[in-house]
Chain A
Amino acid sequence: MRAALHLAAKDLKVELRSKEMISAMFLFSLLIVLAFRFAFGEDLDSDPEKMTDLAASALWICFSFAAIVGMHTSFAKEKDRETLEGLLLCPIDRSEIFLGKVLSNLAIVFIVDALSILFFALFFSYDYGGNVAAVILVALVGTMGLVLVGTLVAAISVNGRAREALLPILLIPLIAFSVIVPCVSATRNAMNGDLAESVGEIESIVGFAVIFGAIGYFSIEYVLEG
């Protein structure tokens, strides 16, 4: 576990120096805000009530695509700079590398989650029905599931050609019903102030996070080999 923390700290330090991912993902969530306005502007003007329904879906589109961008970079960078071999030479378990990557990805995607939530509040003067805390809670839980499976799939897809396109192709079918659908419905309930109704969905998301984590932890040694 300590090795994992070290790795995560290393990744975050690299990120803080280059700000590559954060700046890309920051712009990405701004672009989603823009696209959201283009797509649903008229709907929102005619019926502000729709904001809750639309914002829940748009936020999760934003979270999942930003996470895909981020998680892809986390392995692609190591591969391109040929530092992945260095990581593999470390006298630590492969699962520690997985955990380290999960932790650094989590940190970065959480930042993007927070930024997107903020942007929606700023640009649409939307207060999440006064339930920002609940929305953030769902975002945190959902992001965990997303990152746990996404990091494993990113480690898989980094071996391929055209890997930028490969990651979403491999990842989206896996997360569609295990993470996104329950998260959108839980976020919507959270915005309406009845998160209590979504306890079942949150349990399910947590359950999947545990399953994804376990599969990733035990199978990463097959992925990062050689």
Chain B
Amino acid sequence: MKKSRLGLMLTVVALAMILATTYLALYFAPLPQTSVGAADQILSSVEGSKIRVAGFVSELIYASNPIISDSHVQIFALADFTDYSRFAEARAHGQLSERWWTINPLVVEVALDELAGYSGPYPPFSLGMNLSAEGKIIYGLLTPNSTVFDHFLTVCSFDKVEVGAGPGEFGLVTAPVAQKIFYFHMPSAWVSYLAFFVTLVGSALYLKTRNAKYDRLAHSSAELGVLFATIAITTGPVWAKQEWGVYWRWDDTKLVTTFILWLVYIGYLSLRAAVPEHGTRARVSAVYGILGFVTVPMSLLSSRIAPLLRSSHPQVIATSRGGLSPEAGLTIGIAVIAFTLLFAAMLIKRVEIAESEEELEELKRVVGGEE
């Protein structure tokens, strides 16, 4: 009785905090901003510099007005092009017109030998450009017949080129409003990892003590973990479509980890549903719960496989590139606490239900005369 009152209290607090999160996310937390500063200064120092763009030539776009000299291909970069929301809008409406390309063009030369092997009819052409305070230039490149930002590269001090997957990777934002979903996405993902971890602990404790209450804990937590993971992997693509131009990316560690963990714990639940006998169910699902939790993160963290993937997922922990404003930080903090409390409340309730279920089964057995 006491426990259920605790659960009720937690639920009320969590729901209130989620309401607060919604309000804060909508009206308090500012839209994310790209740090654009001192663009002119950087421009003047950039002019005429050589940029090495090895490695992605075959994936570059075709431009309608190629400029080729003997030794260099010239790439227009748009100095004025610092507002990505305008670009996103143009992209969405298929209006990437000449107008964009001729505003204050800055000619950047690319050594032709870097383009060796390129067989397209036109030289590559870069469309977008952004200058950040750190003096990095970020290009957006479009592939033919595509309205999707496929490849980005940053130029760091002009001798090192990083190719990225989308503007989000470099702290750029093309669809600021879509970012609001972050306040629900990230807490759900966090709670699902927490829930799967609780399942791991519950499974291990069950195998050690054979106390059915740990089995109930593991089961309930896995169910909630799948629920929150579902929220995380459905809200993520809503944002990704806006920011990356696609719903899903297979080359991203975080997405793939979450997806596979999700599958593993759906497997765990199917296993539980398929094994009728109590003790066996608890034992085998505990072993599988441990196996799954150990294998998946390890295989994706393994340094030998990680290079096959790369992460374009935004970093949650603030980096030197910017990070969260205090308002956004407060909002996300409240959201994380709210979701964690909600998880705790639901877990208490779910364990209670599991207890009642077992009691009911026991009663059925007694009535059925199996005793």
Chain A residues near B (Cβ < 8 Å): 149, 152-153, 156-157, 159-163, 166, 169-170, 172-174, 176-178, 181-182, 185, 200-201, 203-204, 207-208, 211-212, 215, 219, 222-223, 225-226
Flag if A160 contacts B275 (CB, 8 Å): yes
A177 near B256: Cβ-Cβ < 8 Å: yes
B residues near A (Cβ < 8 Å) are 207, 256, 260, 263-264, 266-267, 270-271, 274-277, 279-281, 283-284, 286-288, 290-292, 294-296, 298-300, 302, 304-305, 308
Closest 3 CB pairs of A and B: A160-B274, A204-B304, A178-B299
Is B305 within 8 A of A159, CB to CB?
Answer: no
Q: Which of B266, B276, B295 contacts A178 (CB 8 A)?
A: B295
Closest to A208 in B: B299
Alpha-carbon distance between A223 and B207 when the two chains are bound, in angstroms: 10
16 A-B residue pairs with Cβ-Cβ distance under 8 Å, sorted by A, are A152-B291, A156-B271, A156-B288, A159-B275, A162-B274, A163-B274, A170-B267, A173-B263, A174-B295, A178-B298, A181-B308, A201-B305, A208-B299, A215-B291, A225-B283, A226-B283
- Majority DSSP secondary structure for residues of B touching A: helix
List, in ascending order, chain A residues with CB within 8 A of B290's CB. Answer: 215, 219
Q: A156-B284, A177-B299 are in contact. Are A161 and B260 (CB under 8 A)?
A: no
- With A157-B271, A160-B271, A185-B308 already in contact, the answer to whether A170 and B288 are too (CB < 8 A) is yes
Q: Knowing that A174-B296, A176-B299 are A-B contacts, what are 10 other residue pairs whose CB atoms are under 8 Å apart, sorted by A's residue number?
A: A156-B284, A156-B287, A157-B274, A162-B274, A170-B271, A172-B263, A174-B264, A174-B295, A212-B295, A225-B280
CA separation between A98 and B277, bound complex, in Å?
22
Given A215-B294, A222-B287, A226-B280, are A182 and B305 also a contact pair (CB < 8 Å)? yes
Could you tell me the distance between the alpha carbons of A4 and B260 in the complex, rounded to whole angstroms? 33
Q: A170-B267, A174-B292, A211-B298 given as contacts; is B276 within 8 A of A181 (CB)? A: no
Q: Chain A residues near B292 (CB, 8 Å)? A: 173-174
A153 touches B288 (CB 8 A): yes
A160 CA to B269 CA, complexed, in Å: 12
Q: Which of chain B's residues have a CB closer than 8 A to the CB of A177?
A: 256, 260, 296, 299-300, 305
Chain A residues whose CB sits within 8 angstroms of the CB of B304 once the complex forms = 182, 200-201, 203-204
On chain A, the residues within 8 Å of B256 by CB distance are: 177
Shortest B283–chain A CB gap in Å is: 5
Are A169 and B275 within 8 A (Cβ)? no
Q: Which residue of the partner chain, among B271, B280, B286, contacts A166 with CB atoms under 8 Å?
A: B271
Output the least CB separation between B363 and chain A (Å).
23
The docked-state distance in angstroms from the alpha carbon of A172 to that of B296 is 11
* A153 and B268 alpha carbons, distance in the complex (Å): 11
The answer for the CA separation of A211 and B260 in the assembled complex, in Å, is 19
Q: Specify which chain A residues have a CB less than 8 angstroms from the CB of B260 in the assembled complex.
A: 173, 176-177
Q: B271 contacts which chain A residues (CB < 8 A)?
A: 156-157, 160, 166, 170
Contacts of A203 in B (CB 8 A): 304
Given contacts A160-B275, A174-B264, A177-B260, contact A169 B283 (CB under 8 A): no
- Given the complex, which residues of A lie within 8 Å of B270, measured CB to CB? 166, 169-170
Distance in angstroms from A144 CB to nearest chain B CB is 16
Give min CB distance, A172 to chain B, whole Å: 8
A156-B260 Cα distance, complex, nearest whole Å = 19
Minimum Cβ distance to chain B for residue A156 (Å)? 4
A161–B277 alpha-carbon span in the complex (Å): 11
> Nearest CB to that of B281 among chain A residues?
A159
Identify which of A163, A173, A212 contacts B296 (C-beta below 8 A).
A173
Complex CA–CA separation, A200 to B308 (angstroms): 12
**B267 in complex: contacting residue of A173, A176, A226, CB < 8 Å:** A173
Tell me, in angstroms, the Cα distance from A132 to B129 when the chains sit together: 49
Q: Which of B266, B295, B302, B308 has the most CB of A within 10 A?
A: B295
Residues of B within 8 A of A176 (CB): 260, 299
Q: A181 and B274 in contact (CB under 8 A), knowing A173-B296, A222-B207?
A: no
Q: Which of the residues B280, B286, B291, B302 comes within 8 Å of A174, measured between beta carbons?
A: B291
Q: How near does chain B come to A214, taking the closest CB pair, in angstroms? A: 10
B283's contact among A162, A182, A211, A223, by CB below 8 Å, is which? A223
Q: Which residues of B contact A201 (CB under 8 A)?
A: 304-305
| Minimum CB–CB distance for A215 against chain B, Å | 6
Please give me the residue from chain A that is nearest to B277 by CB atom.
Answer: A159
Whole-angstrom distance between the Cβ of B222 and the nearest chain A Cβ? 13
User: Which residues of chain B are within 8 angstroms of A222 by Cβ–Cβ distance?
Assistant: 207, 283-284, 286-287
| Listed residue (B256, B277, B302, B304) with the most chain A CB atoms within 10 angstroms of its CB | B304
Asked whether B287 lies within 8 Å of A166 as measured between CB atoms, the reply is no
Nearest-Cβ distance from residue A220 to partner chain B, whole angstroms: 8
**Distance between Cα atoms of A176 and B296 in the complex (Å):** 9
Chain B's nearest CB lies how many Å from the CB of A204?
4
**Given known contacts A185-B308, A222-B286, A161 and B276 CB-to-CB distance under 8 angstroms:** yes
Q: Which of A152, A159, A204, A219 contacts B302 (CB 8 A)?
A: A204
Q: Which residues of A contact B286 (CB under 8 A)?
A: 222
User: Nearest residue in A to B266 (C-beta to C-beta)?
Assistant: A169
